[in-house]
Copies of this chain bind each other. A is one copy, B any other.
């Protein structure tokens, strides 16, 4: 059976198999080695994620934790960081609770699957002007429902949790802002990712997995690769 990676997160995970998405790129990269399993839930924050954790990753009746994935990406915070008194306030989770929830998610996963690589991803930066232009959000007060400052605070908290748990983290909030034109280059609507933004997430995730020993060089290929099949005696490869 092939090892698998779960992608657990909010809309930025749920839509990660759209054109050029980071999830699809992972599945393509690991096409003969790993199964990439999508568990993205649009709009969810860590409070809701914690409520559904045992449904997302059910422990089978036998008592063990089920098939242990090789890795899980945990990518929440963009909704937690919604500003409390603005139009997405129902998704807001206070910063201290966000930290606590992330800790709980990580420790539940570690308890269920002790050897699984758990990888945190911080929320991306926010382009507030683009949020104000988003026709799907009622920012009627002229104030964006998400701010880059708040996203930064949640991002720092996420990095801190990773440190406290001794697990790797992709600090997307910081990495994306390295590019001067990050607002247009990485963000589609001030929050969700462009193809370039998706590319960055993909590259950071495979680099972080590789640091943990999960890479094409170490994973066995599922069944003989074409290059390893002898054209003069192809069936030998299948004996």
Q: Are A234 and B90 in contact (CB under 8 A)?
A: yes
In the complex, A40 has a CB within 8 A of chain B: yes
Known: A90-B234, A223-B41, A223-B55. A28 touches B32 (CB 8 A): no
CA A24 to CA B22, docked complex, whole Å: 11
Most chain B CB neighbours (cut-off 10 Å) among A15, A17, A25: A17
Q: Are B58 and A31 in contact (CB under 8 A)?
A: no
> What's the least CB distance linking A201 to chain B, in Å?
15
Q: Are B15 and A21 in contact (CB under 8 A)?
A: no
Q: Are A19 and B17 in contact (CB under 8 A)?
A: no
CA A41 to CA B225, docked complex, whole Å: 8
Q: Are A225 and B42 in contact (CB under 8 A)?
A: yes
A28 in complex: contacting residue of B24, B51, B222, CB < 8 Å: B24
In the complex, A206 has a CB within 8 A of chain B: no
Chain B residues lying within 8 Å of A42, measured Cβ to Cβ, are 225-226
Q: Are A19 and B20 in contact (CB under 8 A)?
A: yes
Chain B residues lying within 8 Å of A31, measured Cβ to Cβ, are 14-15, 17, 38, 40
Q: Are B35 and A27 in contact (CB under 8 A)?
A: no
CB 8 Å contact bits of A206-239 with B (1 = contact, 0 = none): 0000000000000000110110010110110010
Q: Are A226 and B43 in contact (CB under 8 A)?
A: yes
In the complex, A56 has a CB within 8 A of chain B: yes
Q: Which residues of A contact B (CB under 8 A)?
A: 1, 14-15, 17-21, 23-25, 27-28, 31-32, 35, 37-44, 47-48, 51-52, 55-56, 58, 90-91, 222-223, 225-226, 229, 231-232, 234-235, 238
22 A-B pairs with CB atoms under 8 Å apart are A1-B58, A14-B32, A17-B17, A17-B24, A18-B28, A19-B19, A19-B24, A21-B24, A23-B27, A24-B27, A27-B27, A31-B38, A32-B41, A41-B223, A42-B226, A43-B229, A51-B235, A52-B223, A52-B238, A90-B229, A90-B232, A91-B234
